[in-house]
Amino acid sequence: MLERIAGVPRNQFLKVAEEVMARFILLPENPKPERIGGYIAVLEKVDNRILLLAEIGSCPSDMLESLNIVQKEVRMYDRSITAPYDSSGIKKGREIVGAFSGLVEHGNEAFMLVIWMIFRWITLEDAREIVSISKNELFNPLLNACTDLFDREVYVR
């Protein structure tokens, strides 16, 4: 088991992901509050190796297809060389690619953007560029709900 994801301790990454999920679920703007989890995948670009595949929140057994989807998406995002993102996948500026599946499409994207921003793998400007293209109306509410998470120590190489 790998201890770090792009310099961040694995347990810290998962703790942040769980906290961001908990806040997303409580958003009044959340269009499907019955969805309370999903699957996250993080892939190392150099070796094309999955560093993390985990359940975040709670996923009933009928969501197992989301597990297959996230694995396909993270590999698809890694092969895409033209776009800095595609929906819930992020590959800008780091040696890793991430994807999430389980929420509504804009929820998946907002969730990943906020996590990548917390660890300073993308900037607010990067995120705003992505959100302007996708017309994601869930990003700002989630970002506002997570502002205190940016005040913690960040572990990077």
**In the predicted model, what is the mean pLDDT of residues 73-95?**
58
What integer pLDDT is reported at residue 157 of this predicted model?
A: 33
Question: 1 in a domain, yes or no?
Answer: no
Q: Which tokens in the block code for residue 29? A: 């703007």
- Helices 105-118 & 124-134, crossing angle to 10 degrees? 170
The answer to the question of residue 12 being in a domain is no
According to DSSP, residue 138 is labeled: S
**Amino acid at position 39, single letter:** Y
Burial 89-127 (b: 16+ CB within 10 A, else e): bbbbebebbbbbbbbeebbbbbbbbbbbbbbebbeeebb
Query: Does residue 126 form part of some domain?
Result: yes
Average pLDDT over residues 5-29: 95
Mean pLDDT of 12-25: 97
Residue 115 lies in a domain: yes
pLDDT (0 to 100) of residue 6: 87
Whether residue 13 lies inside any domain: the answer is: no
- Provide the pLDDT for residue 42: 93
Residue 74 lies in a domain: yes
In a domain, 8, yes or no: no
Stretch 29-48: mean pLDDT, rounded?
Answer: 92
CB count within 10 Å of CB 55 equals 16
Is the Cβ–Cβ distance between 44 and 51 less than 8 Å?
A: yes
- Which range of residues forms the domain containing residue 130? 18-149
How many folded domains does the chain comprise?
Answer: 1
Would 154 be classed as within a structural domain? no
- Report the share of the chain in percent with pLDDT over 90: 61
pLDDT band at 80 (very low <50, low <70, confident <90, very high): low
3-state secondary structure 35-89: CCEEEEEEEECCCCEEEEEEEEECCCHHHHHHHHHHHHHHHHHHHCCCCCEECCE
Mean pLDDT of 79-84: 46
Copy the structure tokens of residue 84: 């800095």
CB under 8 Å to 104, separation ≥6 — which residues? 31, 32, 35, 138
